[in-house]
Amino acid sequence: MRCFKLPLSPGVLAGAVAGLLAASPVLATPECRDDALGTARTLEVPFAQGPVGRASYGRTLPLARGEVVLTFDDGPLPRRTHAVLDALRAECVKATFFVIGSMVAQFPDTLRRTAAEGHTVATHTWSHRYLDRVRSQAVRRDQINGGLAAARTVLAGDEAALSPFFRFPGLGHSPALDRYAAAQRLVPFSIDVDGDDWKRIAPAAVMERVLRRLDAAGRGIILLHDIQPRTVAILPELLRALKTRGYRVVHVVPAQADTQAALAVLDAPRARPIRLALDRLGTRMAARPPAGERQRVAEEAPLLLRAGLFEEEPAPPPPAPAPRNQSRSDGEVRLALVADAPGPARPAASAGPAPRAGWSGFVVVGVAPAANGFRSVAAADAPRTR
């Protein structure tokens, strides 16, 4: 068994370590145990490889039987992503994280830890819009480029962890979307094995589906989500099961020239909310406070709704009286989910209502106090009093 580390320049490594002091209590890289799963080999995936993943493209990476690539979508999210990183670290395993730009803007330190521990950072749009359902080319462009722009803002452009790998939300793609991704020098990644951890099933069911489908395929790209509690619950056991069954983990990395080519043609997002978020992120990264002063966002707070947050296009002026808690443009309703900022009246650990079925396309993108007009999902559903 061998373990691999990606090289980081001294300056980048120093910055990454400083940023991670508050993110994880244990930072030293452990020696691989003799019984750890480990990383069997590193596979460079060049741009010329083209799109991969049988679920969408009918072909996958050049993997031998028994070889698997671990991928995680939709983060970073504190606590859950850190738990995933801890499990991978305990087994000396390297994975690929397809991150959401708006999540990166909220939790850059979690992304920095991901990169510093040698994992590959790929992108998954700005806010998880299902692009095959979006008509606006401007929205498609900003979604695809916003994710990479956010990751580049947090990580150094020449950092080995940053990659041009890209995954369409919901695996929804089209020939036009694939052509645009190619023009942006991105490598679309689909999947071979879906763990269904985003569904409302028990953790044991996720475990069973991953192993059963992997046994049937014999090899391939596994899809999980580092923001899902089911994944956090089963990952240590899943890694041990992969070891027991004789599977070997392959760490996919980009050709460094391909990453630079993608950054060179990066089409900066033009939608004002995304630009403002990226500007704030850039300012935050340029003036980082001491590690001890950083505050974490409670990820388990209730989900709240507010209209117009992170809209891709300007909404028309609201008619009188004031509109209800939503915003409409071109017949679409755009809502963003945010986490309530903890305060004296609401402990940070208080549990909130779970997202309802069909809301998997929304992500938590920010924090705000309820006093500013935010209402919990439960309160939004309650009858209005007159």
3-class secondary-structure state, position 170: helix
Relative to beta strand 41-45, strand 193-194 is: unpaired
Distance CA 324, CA 96 (A): 40
Cα diameter, the chain: 69
DSSP letters spanning 193-253: EE--TTSS--HHHHHHHHHHHHHHHSSEEEEEETT-HHHHHHHHHHHHHHHHTT-EEEEEE
> Which tokens hold the place of 124?
């998954």
In 3D, which of 135, 110, 129 has the Cα closest to residue 23?
Answer: 110
Among the listed residues 109, 225, 226, 258, the single catalytic one is 225
Distance CA 198, CA 230 (A): 8
Cis peptide before 321 (omega within 30 of 0): yes
| Phi, psi (degrees; rounded to nearest 5) at 228 | -95, 130
Relative to beta strand 303-307, strand 375-376 is: antiparallel
Among the listed residues 73, 142, 192, 197, the single catalytic one is 73
The single-letter code of the amino acid at 171 is: L
Residue 225 a catalytic site member: yes
Cβ-contact 114, 162 below 8 angstroms:
no
Residue 73 a catalytic site member: yes
Distance CA 313, CA 329 (A): 8
Cβ-contact 81, 110 below 8 angstroms:
yes
In 3D, which of 126, 154, 151, 142 has the Cα closest to residue 269?
Answer: 142
Cβ-contact 141, 267 below 8 angstroms:
yes
Residue whose token pair is 């409409």: 328
Measured N-to-C along each axis, helices 108-116 and 80-90 cross at an angle, to the nearest 10 degrees, of: 10
Residue whose token pair is 């003036």: 287
Q: Which residues are catalytic?
A: 73, 225
